[in-house]
Structures are given as C-alpha cells and as structure tokens.
C-alpha cells in the first residue's frame, strides 16, 4: 500500500485557527519573494558547466551527510550507500540499489527537517504524488533520472525556476574561481558569487597548512614567510574574491576565540605555526589572532565577516580515516562568546562600519550571550539557526530566545547553508513559514500589530539578508 | 471543604481541539499496551516474598525522595516524616502522623510530576474520589491501609493488574540475586529480571571499594589483585546476572568520561586505585577506563550498556551524615559527552553489534551533543528524559530538542526508573500521553501523516523499549 | 499615516479560546492587587523631594540602558541620545531632538519587552491613542512634558496611583540613607525601604575598594584594618539599613562562588585584599567568603539574602571609558551553582531560618541546578527571571523549567528590578499575565484544578513576594 504525498498549504503554521489565519496572511506576502542565498556550499561548477545531474542516488544520497548519517546510525553501512572511500576501496555503485536501500529506511527520517526538504523536492520539483517507500522506490528512481536528463532540470534552469536572485558559494583561499569566471563570462543572468573562506591558511591544524602557505605565496606573489607578506597575501586574495562578487568572508573555527596580540607577538606566533612546531594552544591563539586581523581587513575592504564556530570536526576517527571529511561525524560542542570575542571587540567593536555575523551550534548561547552581545555592539548581527538547528524547532527556539534582547533587526535573515541545491526553495520556505508562524503568535497575543508583522515578514524573508550581506 | 479528585481522560493533551482529537486517537491505540519497564529500582524482594506493603506512610512517603525533598525544602524536617537516620536516632514512627503532615503540605507538590503520579495512584489504584488534603488525610490513611492488607494489593497481584510484561530491577555486582532466583523458581508468570550495576567495584570513590574488591574475588574465585583477574571477575558476574535474566548493565558515574588506556597503563592504574592512594583524577580515569572495558565485554556477551552520568551525589553534607544516600540531595551538574565519550567511541563506536543507551541530567546536551552523536554512531541510542526531567515539560523538551537530529528510532522508549512500584502505570501513562501529544502536534502542522504517527506511537510506547533492551 | 495604540485586554494570554478564558478569569482576581516591589533601583530622592520629572527624554531614554543599547547596536551614537560622558565631553542636550531620534528608531524595539512596557506607559499613564513614530514624536514630547509638570505626575502621586504597597530601593554600604530618612519623616504614607548592597566593600575589584574601607570605618567607628572590625562594621551598617526599613541584602558578584575559610585563613585573605596586592583568584575567594559571612549575619539579624551572580560587567571597554558603568554593555556568562554554593550550604544550608533568594542570567541552570537545589535546601528560593529574561518568553521558560522540580512555593514572587519608575505597573502586569497564562495551560491540560490555579495566581502575584522578603 502506498501513501499519498501532499505538501499541505498550511504546514508549519500554528494549530489555533485564529493564529493560523494570521500566519497564512503573512505568508501570502512573502512566499513568492525572490530567494537570497548569501551563504552556502553548492558547487559553482554546476552553474558554470550547466551539465545535467547524474542520477537520483548521486544527487540526493551520496553527497548528503544529513541523510546518510541517519542511515549509518541505524546500522546501514556507508559503503552500501555509495559513499566514496579515501583509498578508493570499492563501494556500491549501482544507483538503483542505493536508492532502494534509502527508500527502505526512509521512515528513519520521520520528524527530521531532511524528511520535509526531501518530500518538498519530490512533490514540488518532481511532481510525485505518492510517498517514497520500499514499494515506490523504483518508480521514483526512474522518474527522477528521466527528468534530470531534460533541459528543464539542468542547474541554470532550476536556478531560474527557483526564483533565486543571488546565490553565494564558499571557496578556499587557494581556489582559482575559474567556475565563477566562467559563469560571469557566460552571459547567463544568474547571480552566483563566491565567499572567502581562508581556513586552509589561517588554521595551523588544517591538512597541509605549510604547503598551503607556499601555494598562497605563489598565487599572490607575496612572501608568506613574513607576517607582513602573509597578511598582504590575504589582502590580495580578498581583493580577487571581491572581484568575483564576494561580499563576505567566512571562518569555521573550533571556537570563537579571538586575540589581540602586539605586532611582535603576532610575528613570533606566525613563525611558530609556520614551522609546524606549535602547541594546541598556539594554534588556537593563531586562529584567534587571524579573526581579529580579518576584522581589520573587513574595515579596509567592506567584506562582511561570518564566524561559524564550535564544531568538533571528524569525531568518528574510523569514518574519517576511511571516508574523509564531512561525513556526518561533526558534533557541536559548548561554545562561549563573551570572553572569546572580547579581544576583537575591544579593538573593533565600536565600529559601525564593521559587520560580523555570528553563528552558533550551542543554543544555550542565544539568550545568555549572543542576543545580549548583538543587542549592544554595533558591529554584530546574529546569523540564522545553523546546521542541526536549521529546522522548525530550532528556528522557533532561536526567535523565542534571541528576539526579546536582540530584536529582529540585529538578525541577518535566512541562510540555507546547503550543498543540496534542489532543497534550496524548500529550506527558504520552511524559514519563511516558521517566521510567519512566530510573528503570528506575537500578533495573536497582542505583542505586535498585524501591520508591523507584515513589514517584519518581508524584512526577515528578504530585506535583512540583502542588507546584512551588503548585496 | 474537600475537592473532587478526577483524572481527566484528556489530561496532558494539547488544548487546541483539532490537535487534541489527534492525540486522543493516537492514545487510544497505545493506552492498553503492556508495560515494558526495562530500567528501574523496585525491590525484587517484593515479588519474591509477595508480602503485603506495610502502610500508606511507608509505601508513599518515607522511601520517596521526590516527595520528602519537597517538604524538607519548605522546612518540614525529615525526622518528622519518618526518614530513618544512619545512627538509628529516633524519628517519627507513627504512620498516621506522618501521613497527616504529608497531607497538610500536599499543595507544595502542585505543578510537579509527583503530584500527578500520586493522584493517579490514589484515583486509579485506590479509587479515591476526593483530593488528599488536611481534611481527607485520615480517610485516605485508613482506606489505603485496609486495601494494602488484601490479597489484591500484594505485589504480584498489582504486577499482573498493572499489565506489566517485563520489569527490570538493578543490583550491585556483589548481590546474590536470591530474590530473582526465588521469583524464577516460584512458578509465578511475572517476568522480573536484574541489571548489572557494578559501580561498587568500578568506582574507586564508592564506599568500601577495596572491601568490595575482596568480596568480588570471593564470589567469583578470581584473583582481583590482578587486572586480568579483576576483568574476569566482571565477566563471571555478568554471566551470572545474564543467567538471572539481565539483558543490560548500568553505570552511574559523576561524568561521562571514558578512557582507552594501554594494557600496561590500565594495570598500573588498577594497582593505584586498589591501593586506595589514588587522586581524584585517577579515580575519574579509572571509571572512564571501566566504561570502555564494559563496552568491550558487551560485545562479548551482548548485554546492552546504559550510562547515567552527571549527578553530584549527596550534595547536602549534613543530610548525608545524618540520613545517608539517596535522600533527595543529588543535584545535576553540567555534563559533556563529545570529548568524554571519544576514547570509547574511537575503540568501539563503529560496531553495530554494540548498544549503548545514554542518559543525561543536563538538558543542554540534547540538541548540542546527544542528538548529533546518536544520529551518527551506530552503537548509540538516547534514553528517555531522566529523573528531574521525567515530567511532562521535560519529555516535551526532549522530543522537541532531540528528534530533528536523532529522529525517533535512535531513542530507546520509556524507562520509569522508579522505586515507587505503585506509580509505574501512572508514569508510563504520562509518557504515552506526552508522546501522543507531541506526535499530534507534528500531525497538526503537517510534519507527519496521521498513519505514520500511529505507527510511531506504538513504537515509542512499546516496540523501542523491547528492541533497545533486547527483550 | 499614524497607527492606533491600544493595549488589548487579552494581551499575553494563550491563543486557544478555552485556555484564554481560564487565563482571563485568573487574571481578573489578581490584576488589581497592590504592587509589592521588593527589589529595584529607583532613586529614593524622587520620593524624598517629590520634584517633578524633567522631560520625556530624561525620563525615558537617557537613563534606560535597555533602550539606548538597542539604538546603539544599530549605529545610533550614545552621544546623540544624550547619554552623559565620564569626562563631561559634549553630548546632545536638546530633549526634543533626542526624542525624535528615539521615535525614528522605535521599530527596532519590536518584539522586545521594552516596547511593551513603553507602550503601556504611553497608553495607560499618559493616555496616548496613537503609536509613537517619527510623525507623532513631537506631539508625544509636548504632551508628556506638559503632564510631567502637573502635580498628578509627581513621584508620590504616581506611587499612589500605581497602587504600590511597598517599594524597595538598593543602596551601597556607604550611603547615608538621607532620602529614606526624609521619606520616613515626611508623614507621607508611601512605604519605601532600602536594601543593603555591600559590593563596594566586599568586592576587592570594586572601584575605590580601599578608600571605601576607610569610609566604612569612619561611618561605623569600627577598625576596618582588622577582620573582626571589618565584620562588625558590616553588622553596624546592616543594623542601620534595617532601621531604615531594609528586610534584605543584595550581592552582585561575577559568579556564585562561596567559600568557607577558617578564621585565620579569612584574616590573612582580608589582609591581602586590603593591601590591593591580590590576584584575581584571591578577589574571587574573598567575595565568596563574604557571601558566607553575610549568610551568617542574616541568621543573626533576619535579613533575607539575595544573590545576583553572573554578569560580565562593562564588556565594551570603549563605552566604559567614555560613558562609565551601566551603559547596556553588561553581558551574562555561564554560571554554575552546584559546586559554587556548596561551601556556604555546607555551613548554613540546613537552617530553615536562613533565606537566600537566587537569581541567574544563565537559563540553563533553571532545570539543571537551581530547581533541584531550591527543591531540596530549606534556605533557598528562586528569584524571578532576571534582567534580559524579565520578558514574556523568559518568564514562560522559567515556569516551564523550574516548576516541575522546585514547585511554585520555592519561588519568590515577582521583582521588577528597575530604575524606570513609570514602567513598574506595566512590568508587574506582564508578570501577572504570564503567570496566569502558565497556570491556565496547566488547567487546560488538567495538571491543575482551576480552584488551585486561582489560589496560586494570588500567591505568585502578591503573597510570595511578601513572605519571601519578610514584609
């Protein structure tokens, strides 16, 4: 027996009829606004080459760690889902088999945002009317592949169909941005920009750090064996990224630690980490100093700064050795901001021209640290709920815990932060619905007037992202 | 003036009429399912001897630290409630007086789960129709005692009446399990099993640790003066517990710290803690190493492993000296899992045959650490909200904060974890109602279809506990 | 276009019609109860001199860091809002311009409690019927100033109109309490009492600590160069404050650390901090020891003890240098209670005659630490949600997270804790509404009977504050 798949028009709205009516009215005004996606991890090659996507398994399962981590957690091996190994050891390559395995375990995703995003894509992008399960797996696989082979499902066509006004990707400091150049030169109207993510040359614990510095020198013509040359190399790459559309940088550190060393201390520390003979504390201090340096450069070149701290990367040693990075084994850890950010804020915190967007994986910081900081410092804004918290309950907690102290206007609108291109409309739709639901509740208990809520709904869905990322 | 006592059929269901109707429908299908109680602290002697319970005060007040801690917090002395002292100093022994004192302060429990469990027992087990208060105290006391003297209120009769399919107790490693043997040999059909809780020989800070090791040797014939002999003694006791029905072990440590020492390091550490000349850090490291050893043995004998970390035991020094352990003075403390569990997980985390059920008293870990860990590692499941959080609001927070990342199928069903035998049906009923309420909300805002919710309701009420504990 | 300003009679009540009806009924019985304000920061000079307030800008903006921090966070300079500088550097003095600037940015406060308090004052105290915005700013400014010049808007008239039964202010240990004496001698019936807040002589990091000790000696005639003399000086000032109505002390420390040193250790530590050559750790230890000493003195003189820990004061160094303390740059930090309070509790925790009211800025401690502690120790009560958490969502979280373990009767009623005198009725009204809303939800899902909820509503709005502060 197969089950109907329908995306209910009132999904995610409050159950109370009066409140739901308000939410529905607010949503009517924002649902068709263009999508601003100012932070994410889609592959620019898709839009540069505009090649069709390969097949359902390679599109939806193999690269999506949200999906395969859940199946792995219930005993399904990553090999059987076609996740490639580091050493090229054999894994399942039959897309149909992988898809069937996925469909057989689809119930594991009940109650998760992945389930909602996938159902949205199946229903709204592919037009399925039956739910995915063991019995419908084959029909799904065939139809998806059929569609993917058509022009209407090539990346640029979907980009246009999704009503994306702007999409930012994220590249490392050594990237040549060739795909971005191709896109720009192609005459296609889609706006795809890059973001400067220099972790590979700012984090001494990054794989290949010293080699990366050498390549950094080569690319820029700067002498990265000196602190001055190293900083100038950043300036050069930031300018290059900016020329390819970047309006922001991004920094994925284990903590939010910042530092404010004297020039001579910074030079000495740079020599230490460059030598590879640094302690864990020195690596942390260097990353912290680099956040402060990046803030200083943002004041020079106007790039918005994003800080994404607090992920314990590659927690599962076995999975890391066999499958590499980004395999669903990154786990949040407690993250403090109050002491951590003080060195940077002491130096630059009062500059209204600086803009830093803070993210967190530690929800306890919303009401205790992040909202109080953002509700005071001119340079700080709060990014939307991130990663595991980019979900209906996560979004609700963020608004409930941050709004009363930070207000709405110290938040930065929505980011989808995804590699899963097809899910972008569904993700923005969830955010718009949850924000309308939250606003409707404020209207229902008379904390906000409906006309103010209507203005806020548009700000949260569209304006704040544009303003915050200087788009 | 006395007040009516009624247990409303819709209690704990959402207020919105449509959502409540869904919750009610889901609940209809689970309310009469047999009770699986895979973790708790009832006394096996009750079921072995089947003697009647003594009286209302000894049944409901003196042993229930949830109850007397609240009265103590408002200035009622433990002596006046009949809580026995360590040195035998005199306390109140008149059950009627204790009961009256309790009734006079019953309003202190408003809004607590104890109030709900007690009212359920009074209404549903004893048939009271007036609320307990100063005026009804005497009538309550008499009627409860009268009923307790009847055969229908003996432990085995209640066990059957409560529709308990399985009840697990918890015993220390030195227990002879005589009561379990008696139950097994009695021909009575009730299934009461034990659980291996070796804290007395794995925690160097446990009262009488070195004496316990001597007794451990005697019981097993192993030489516990060597690391190998000590580990083998565990193997022997685990096998014995397993022969008395155990399917699980349980570990109540101050933190979730684990370790993965080399054999020689472990041997040296064992010598140190055995000598009693260990530091606090060495005690912690030893407990951590023992969790990893226990995980290894679970892979040998298939016992499910439970970890209950994070309680600061006996916080009130005065109460501990005068009344001993478990007197309502255990206080939760911040508990980290991400770094703490890594040594164990590095060694055994990828084994789908291993099963570890994690509990917490630190709710901040639900969305930040536990759900991300359980949503990845094959060996991990999340236990239900524990102790202070085994309550309607606590259950709601658990589902709201854990489900989106861990899903439902990485959770382990409900545990009542109680010494209060009579409250077991009420506790499971609260859990079933809260799960139905949560599922109904997902149905109401179209995150889940009603047919899926119905399947989940049964899984959460019954199937997951059986599967998780390998029953 | 200007917008209507109305305070809806059902504001903050649950949306569900049945639950709302219960909340409304509960609220009817508490809305007109007299206000007990047992902890706050209004200026006793207002009630001593009974001079009119100056103008709208000086009343509502310049002193209210909740308001100007939000504008500052969005790039509005504090100078342009008339916030005075430490060195007297020029700032905006034109009240009308400041008011207009505030009105132009009033939308930034959407969703914050300040918005609700301000709207309440505008509507209910001043009778405005149009919302404040750029267009109505002038009319607001004129009308407020006009009213403030009338007798009906002098401090004592407002005090009476607000139905305040008791108002506590907070003074430092060196204060001569002249205003309180004036009030007491004036024959006016309003009850305004003081609170002993000795941070200036108990915190070695306080500005002017050693000078403060000298003045402390002078005021009391005690020799504060000895530990005994210093403690006796406290006893003398506590007695003096008590003679001016104080029933409580208050302690604003960076953490909840307490200590229980031997007499000789305490003497030596006092010598160290008096010399000014203490480490950060010694300052912390001294503050901790002083909390324990204050608890001991509370047992002597019956003053209730309040602990307000966990604020990182003056986080923005630039703002601190330019504008001084209390400028919206205090940020909460993680605060532990379990280990921190143990030394004090080991010494005095079992004394039912002692009363300590605990506050927190770290909401994670509600369910993990504070409710378990208050639900056990006779001397502990929980203060209401504090500062950033004195808000509808903050109040809801407090009740949801603390009630099930601590009950209602280990909480201390509401504190407004404000400098903003005119907002006091609005703040108590928010608390009463939120408590009625919470109780209504317990009634709606049958966790509480309506008659019990009605009793509790009065206890939470009035009785608990009087009892807890021994008024």
Q: Quick one: closest CA in A to B446, which residue?
A: A11
Residue B80 burial class via C-beta count within 10 angstroms: exposed 0-12, middle 13-18, buried 19 and up:
middle
Predicted local confidence at residue B352, as pLDDT: 85
Residues B118, A303: Cα–Cα separation, whole Å: 61
Residues B122, B113: Cα–Cα separation, whole Å: 14
Give yes or no for a contact between A40 and A300, defined as CB atoms under 8 angstroms apart: no
Q: What is the mean pLDDT of chain C?
A: 97
What average pLDDT score do residues A427-437 get? Answer: 98
Per-residue 3-state assignment (H helix, E strand, C coil) for chain A = CCCECCCCCCCCCCCCHHHHHHHHHHHHCCCCCCEEECCCCCCHHHHHHCCCCCCHHHHHCCCCHHHHHHHHHCCCCCHHHCCCCCCCCCCCCCHHHHHHHHHHCHHHHCCCHHHHHHHHHHHHHCCCCECCCCCCHHHHHHHHHHHHCCHHHCHHHHHHHCCEEEEECCECCCCCCHHHHHHHHCCCCCCEECCECCHHHHCCCCCCHHHHHHHHHHHHCCCCCCHHHHHHHHHHHHHHHHHCCCCEEEECCCCCCCCCCCHHHHHHHHHHHHHCCCCHHHHHHHHHHHHHHHHHHHHHHCCEEEECCCEECCCCHHHHHHHCCCCCCCEECCCCCCCCCHHHHHHHCCCCCCCEEECCCCCCHHHHHHHHHHCCCCCEEECCCCHHHCCHHHHHHHHHHHHHHHCCCCECCCCCCCCCHHHHHHHHHHHHHHHHHHHHHHHHCCCCCHHHHHHHHHHHHHHHHHHHCCC
Predicted local confidence at residue A2, as pLDDT: 80
| ipTM confidence score | 0.97
Nearest-Cα distance to chain A for C22, in Å, is: 15
CA angle centred on A249, ends A246 and A253, rounded to 5°: 155
Predicted local confidence at residue C2, as pLDDT: 80
Cα separations in angstroms, A426 against A124, A165, B51: 9, 15, 62
Cα separations in angstroms, A241 against A48, A172, A224, A471, B373: 17, 10, 19, 15, 36
Produce one character per residue of A31-54: b if its CB has 16 or more CB atoms within 10 Å, e if not: eebebbbbbbbbebebbbbbebbe
Nearest-Cα distance to chain C for A48, in Å, is: 38
> How does pLDDT run across A391-411, given as a tens digit for each residue?
999 999 999 999 999 999 999
Choice between C6 and A434, residue whose per-residue pLDDT is larger: A434
Predicted local confidence at residue A1, as pLDDT: 64
Per-residue 3-state assignment (H helix, E strand, C coil) for chain C = CCCECCCCCCCCCCCCHHHHHHHHHHHHCCCCCCEEECCCCCCHHHHHHCCCCCCHHHHHCCCCHHHHHHHHHCCCCCHHHCCCCCCCCCCCCCHHHHHHHHHHCHHHHCCCHHHHHHHHHHHHHCCCCECCCCCCHHHHHHHHHHHHCCHHHCHHHHHHHCCEEEEECCECCCCCCHHHHHHHHCCCCCCEECCECCHHHHCCCCCCHHHHHHHHHHHHCCCCCCHHHHHHHHHHHHHHHHHCCCCEEEECCCCCCCCCCCHHHHHHHHHHHHHCCCCHHHHHHHHHHHHHHHHHHHHHHCCEEEECCCEECCCCHHHHHHHCCCCCCCEECCCCCCCCCHHHHHHHCCCCCCCEEECCCCCCHHHHHHHHHHCCCCCEEECCCCHHHCCHHHHHHHHHHHHHHHCCCCECCCCCCCCCHHHHHHHHHHHHHHHHHHHHHHHHCCCCCHHHHHHHHHHHHHHHHHHHCCC
- pLDDT at residue A269 tops 70: yes
What average pLDDT score do residues C291-319 get? Answer: 97
Structural domains of chain A in order of their starting residue, each with its CATH number: 17-54+153-468 (3.20.20.140), 55-152 (1.10.2020.10)
Q: What is the mean pLDDT of chain B?
A: 97
Instruction: Report the 10 Å Cβ neighbour count for B45.
Output: 15
Q: Quick one: closest CA in C to B8, which residue?
A: C446
Nearest-Cα distance to chain B for A75, in Å, is: 5
Predicted local confidence at residue A8, as pLDDT: 97
Q: Using the beta-carbon criterion (under 8 Å), do B451 and A3 form an inter-chain contact?
A: yes
Q: Using the beta-carbon criterion (under 8 Å), do B12 and C336 form an inter-chain contact?
A: no
A73 token code pair: 């957690």
Q: Using the beta-carbon criterion (under 8 Å), do B112 and C401 form an inter-chain contact?
A: no
Q: For residue B380, which residues of chain A lie inside 8 Å, CB to CB?
A: 73
> How does pLDDT run across A185-197, given as a tens digit for each residue?
999 999 999 999 9
Q: How far apart are the first and last CA of chain A?
A: 49
Residues A293, A249: Cα–Cα separation, whole Å: 12
Predicted local confidence at residue C1, as pLDDT: 64
Q: Quick one: closest CA in B to A19, which residue?
A: B16
Q: Quick one: closest CA in B to C22, which residue?
A: B15
Q: Which of A81, A315, A320, A361 to mutate to test the interface with B (most CBs of B within 10 A)?
A: A315
Q: Which of C364, C370, C372 to mutate to test the interface with B (most CBs of B within 10 A)?
A: C372
Q: Using the beta-carbon criterion (under 8 Å), do A16 and C11 form an inter-chain contact?
A: no
Q: For residue C74, which residues of chain A lie inside 8 Å, CB to CB?
A: 378, 409-410
By Cβ distance, the residue of C107, C334, C388 closest to A405 is C388
Nearest-Cα distance to chain C for A104, in Å, is: 38
Percent of all residues in chain B with a pLDDT value above 70, rounded to a whole number:
100
C306 bridge partner residues: C250, C357
Q: What is the CA radius of gyration of chain A?
A: 23
- pLDDT at residue B1 tops 70: no
Predicted local confidence at residue A307, as pLDDT: 98
Predicted local confidence at residue A352, as pLDDT: 85
Residues C385, C401: Cα–Cα separation, whole Å: 11
Percent of all residues in chain A with a pLDDT value above 90, rounded to a whole number:
98
> How does pLDDT run across A442-469, given as a tens digit for each residue?
999 999 999 999 999 999 999 999 999 9
> How does pLDDT run across B416-448, given as a tens digit for each residue?
999 999 999 999 999 999 999 999 999 999 999
Q: For residue A70, which residues of chain B lie inside 8 Å, CB to CB?
A: 375, 407
- pLDDT at residue B350 tops 90: no
By Cβ distance, the residue of C350, C372, C408 closest to B331 is C372
> How does pLDDT run across B64-94, given as a tens digit for each residue?
999 999 999 999 999 999 999 999 999 999 9
> How does pLDDT run across A249-259, given as a tens digit for each residue?
999 999 999 99
Residues C302, C297: Cα–Cα separation, whole Å: 8
By Cβ distance, the residue of C10, C110, C328 closest to A407 is C110
Q: Quick one: closest CA in B to C17, which residue?
A: B16
- pLDDT at residue C287 tops 90: yes
Predicted local confidence at residue A350, as pLDDT: 85
Give yes or no for a contact between B124 and B426, defined as CB atoms under 8 angstroms apart: yes
By Cβ distance, the residue of C75, C312, C392 closest to A447 is C392
Q: Using the beta-carbon criterion (under 8 Å), do C110 and A352 form an inter-chain contact?
A: no
């Amino acid at each position: 027996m197969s089950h109907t798949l329908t995306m209910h028009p009132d999904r995610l709205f409050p159950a109370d009829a009066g409140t739901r009516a308000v939410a529905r009215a607010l949503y009517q005004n924002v649902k068709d606004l263009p999508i601003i996606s100012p932070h994410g991890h889609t592959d620019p090659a898709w839009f540069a080459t505009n090649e069709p996507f390969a097949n359902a398994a390679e599109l939806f399962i193999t690269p999506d760690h949200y999906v395969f981590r859940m199946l792995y957690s219930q005993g399904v091996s990553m090999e059987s889902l076609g996740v490639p190994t580091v050493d090229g050891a054999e894994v399942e390559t039959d897309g149909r088999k992988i898809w069937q395995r996925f469909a057989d375990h689809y119930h594991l995703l009940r109650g998760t945002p992945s389930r909602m995003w996938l159902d949205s894509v199946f229903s709204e992008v592919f037009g399925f009317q039956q739910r995915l399960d063991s019995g419908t797996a084959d029909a799904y696989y065939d139809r998806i592949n059929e569609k993917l082979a058509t022009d209407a499902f090539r990346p640029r066509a979907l980009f246009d169909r999704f009503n994306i006004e702007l999409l930012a990707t994220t590249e490392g400091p050594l990237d040549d941005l060739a795909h971005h150049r191709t896109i720009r030169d192609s005459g296609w109207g889609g706006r795809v920009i890059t973001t400067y993510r220099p972790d590979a040359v700012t984090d001494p614990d990054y794989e290949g750090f010293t080699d990366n510095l050498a390549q950094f020198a080569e690319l820029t013509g700067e002498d990265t064996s000196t602190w001055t040359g190293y900083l100038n190399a950043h300036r050069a790459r930031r300018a290059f990224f900016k020329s390819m559309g970047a309006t922001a940088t991004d920094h994925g550190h284990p903590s939010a630690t910042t530092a404010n060393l004297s020039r001579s201390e910074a030079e000495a520390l740079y020599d230490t980490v460059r030598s590879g003979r640094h302690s864990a504390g020195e690596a942390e201090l260097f990353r912290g100093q680099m956040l402060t340096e990046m803030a200083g450069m943002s004041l020079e070149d106007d790039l918005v700064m994003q800080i994404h701290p607090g992920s314990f990367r590659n927690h599962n040693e076995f999975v890391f050795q066999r499958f590499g990075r980004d395999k669903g084994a990154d786990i949040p850890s407690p993250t403090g901001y109050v002491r951590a950010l003080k060195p940077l804020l002491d130096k630059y915190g009062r500059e209204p021209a600086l803009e830093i967007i803070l993210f967190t994986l530690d929800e306890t910081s919303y009401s205790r640290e992040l909202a109080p900081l953002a509700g005071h410092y001119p340079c700080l804004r709060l990014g939307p709920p991130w990663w595991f918290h980019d979900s209906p309950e996560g979004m609700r907690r963020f608004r409930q815990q941050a709004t009363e102290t930070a207000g709405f206007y110290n938040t930065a609108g929505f980011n989808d932060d995804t590699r899963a291109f097809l899910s972008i409309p569904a993700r923005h739709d969830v955010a718009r619905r949850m924000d309308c639901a939250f606003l409707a509740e404020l209207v229902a208990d008379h904390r906000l007037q409906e006309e103010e809520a209507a203005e806020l709904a548009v700000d949260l869905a569209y304006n704040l992202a544009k303003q915050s990322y200087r788009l």
